Amino acid sequence: MAEKMDKLKSLLAEVSDLNAVGAVLGWDQQTYMPKGGAEARGNHLATVGKITHQKFTSDEIGILLTDLEKEHMGAEPDSDDARLLKLTRLEYDRATRVPSEFVAEFAIVTSKAFEAWVEARSKSDFSIFQPHLEKVVELNQRYISFFPPADHPYDVLLDQFERGLKTAEVQEIFDALRPQQVELLKAIAGKPQINDTFLHIDYDQQKLWDFSEVIATKFGFDWERGRQDKSAHPFTTNFSINDVRITTRFESENPIVLLFSTMHETGHGLYELGINQAYERTPLAGGTSLAVHESQSRLWENLVGRSMPFWEHFYPELQKLFPVQVGNLDLGSFYKGINKVQSSLIRVNADEATYNLHIMLRLELEIGMIEGTIKVKDLPEIWNIKMDEYLGVVPPDDAEGVLQDIHWSGGTLGYFSTYALGNLISAQLWEKINADIPDLSEKFRKGEFGALLDWLREKVHIHGSKYEPQELVQRVTGSKIDSGPYIRYLNQKYSEIYGL
């Protein structure tokens, strides 16, 4: 049995290496690649993707899996090897349903779609991106056709990112969450609005960049195993447990967002850097799901990075760096300003009280596109109508509306709900963390974040993809994904800020 397991792990390691090659190509495309390389890069990604798919779906891996599953019957189900077999079987069965030619076509289409999205966004012209998105939607519908009928076609896409979760479950969670968030927003709307003009003036980009890396270092990001670069849309990727890349961006109209973008991506990066080294080059070497991954980024960005104890430590340093902008601004006003609640156009800049509504809108549009009830050509109009309905604001152009997110250009439909689910998980974890580390706020005031990172390493990070998302959340917090802690967190925080 040991010989067969070693052979399987050897083959999976080669698949992992090929996936890493594709990730390097994708990272370069979004950071340093010249625009003229787009077509060639699409071919590179297609070739690597096709070879990876063929290698992973080989008969050799299939036979080894079947043999090992038989030999492991009755063995400890939570052992690393048993969980590796379970996850590999899931991914193998999924991959063998998808032809290699489709994988190659998908890589070419999405590579071109990304370049079209960049151009369309820069020109605020959805028509440039429309034909590419239509092809992406068609490919996703074809992908769904490779699988047995599900309760809802969207289930097949969602399962790629949230193992075992169903569309109906997500809709039920959102249906329970939406009215409570709307009630909070109505209460806040009845109060005097906070002055945050200090956020929308000129800040030196390099100083912000350097300060963001100071914060990431304090959080525990290992620069010997990671780096930060610029991209049109912030993201995190990894080529190994020991090579994790984060990116951020500078926005002239809201410069300090760069700090929170870095904190967000650092949360993702810390997760990848904390995975059990024994899982390197196996399917277990990655976050268990995108929602759990998002819980880490939102926790560090918001529950830590927008907290008063955090800024009690860091604000004096920010004032020294920017004496003109915030030198004479008291900490209380700064704290309220960075936590201001106001319906906004851009999802990544949305405050905690409105963010989930952006996600609910996108989920509705994605389901409509997959069902065929929403046509791609109608997206800009429908987007604007839904933004008005959900948030009471209407984008002035496509760049600040339907073109603001990168995800559809990469073909990742089924992804967006994980952002809101991540918010909910982060609050569930936060309640447990504060129960286990009662002096956490005092540690933050001293600039000490090691206790928090150690807790996350032990409870979440080290397990990689060993457990399914709902299983992991229940193991750590005692319940499956639940909106209650998040609503309690929002109500307490904003009651204090707005005097509700």
pLDDT digits (tens, 9 = 90+) for 34-84: 989 988 998 999 899 999 999 999 999 999 999 999 998 878 999 999 999
- Predicted local confidence at residue 349, as pLDDT: 80
Q: What is the pLDDT of residues 146-162, one digit of tens each?
A: 999 999 999 999 999 99
Q: Tokens 């397990």: give the residue.
A: 463
- Give 3-state DSSP helix, strand, coil % of the chain, rounded to 5: 65, 5, 30
Average pLDDT over residues 416-422: 93
Helix (H, G, I), strand (E, B) or coil at 277: helix
Average pLDDT over residues 128-137: 97
- Predicted local confidence at residue 195, as pLDDT: 94
Q: What is the pLDDT of residues 202-216, one digit of tens each?
A: 999 999 999 999 999
**Is the pTM of the predicted complex or chain greater than 0.85?**
yes
Is 448 noted as a catalytic residue in this protein? no
Q: Tokens 């956020």: give the residue.
A: 199
Please choose, from the candidates 3, 5, 147, 1, the residue with its C-alpha nearest in 3D space to the C-alpha of residue 88. 5
Higher pLDDT, 304 or 233: 304
- Predicted local confidence at residue 164, as pLDDT: 86
Greatest mean pLDDT among 103-112, 182-191, 358-367 lies in 358-367
Q: Are 388 and 444 in contact (CB under 8 A)?
A: no
Q: What is the pLDDT of residues 458-472, one digit of tens each?
A: 999 999 999 999 999
Phi, psi of 496 (to 5 degrees): -70, -45
| 88 contacts: CB under 8 Å, gap ≥ 6 | 8, 12, 61, 65, 283
| C-alpha span between 464 and 318 (Å, rounded) | 35
| C-alpha span between 153 and 212 (Å, rounded) | 41
Average pLDDT over residues 301-319: 98
- β-strand 236-240 against 243-248: which pairing, if any? antiparallel
The HSE-up count of residue 42 (CA atoms within 13 Å, CB side) is: 18
In 212-275, which ranges are E strands?
A: 226-230, 236-240, 243-248
| C-alpha span between 465 and 137 (Å, rounded) | 28
CA terminus-to-terminus distance, the chain: 63
| 361 contacts: CB under 8 Å, gap ≥ 6 | 383, 386, 387, 390, 391
- Fill in the DSSP letter of residue 2: H
Q: Which residues pair with 244 in a beta bridge?
A: 226, 238
Neighbour tally for 100: CB within 10 Å = 17
Phi, psi of 25 (to 5 degrees): -60, -40
- Predicted local confidence at residue 1, as pLDDT: 67
Look over the chain and give the mean of its residue pLDDT values, rounded to a whole number.
95
Q: What is the pLDDT of residues 248-298, one digit of tens each?
A: 999 888 999 999 999 999 999 999 999 999 999 999 999 999 999 999 999
Least confident window among 170-179, 234-243, 426-435: 170-179
CA distances from 377 to 266, 304, 374, 402, 414 (A): 36, 41, 9, 11, 20
Rounded to 10°, the helix 417-436/469-477 angle is 20
Q: Which residues pair with 227 in a beta bridge?
A: 245
- Predicted local confidence at residue 154, as pLDDT: 97
Q: Are 130 and 146 in contact (CB under 8 A)?
A: no
Average pLDDT over residues 359-364: 94
Phi, psi of 189 (to 5 degrees): -60, -25
CA distances from 151 to 62, 154, 168 (A): 27, 9, 8
| C-alpha span between 422 and 411 (Å, rounded) | 21
- Predicted local confidence at residue 75, as pLDDT: 80
**Which of 115, 265, 301, 468 is an active site residue?**
265
Q: Are 216 and 228 in contact (CB under 8 A)?
A: yes
Ordered by where they begin, the domains of the chain are: 2-149 (no CATH), 167-498 (1.10.1370.30)
- Predicted local confidence at residue 435, as pLDDT: 97
The edge-to-edge listing of strands for the beta sheet with 243-248 is 226-230, 243-248, 236-240
Query: Could you tell me if residue 455 is left (phi over 0), alpha (psi between -120 and 50 degrees) or otherwise beta?
Result: alpha
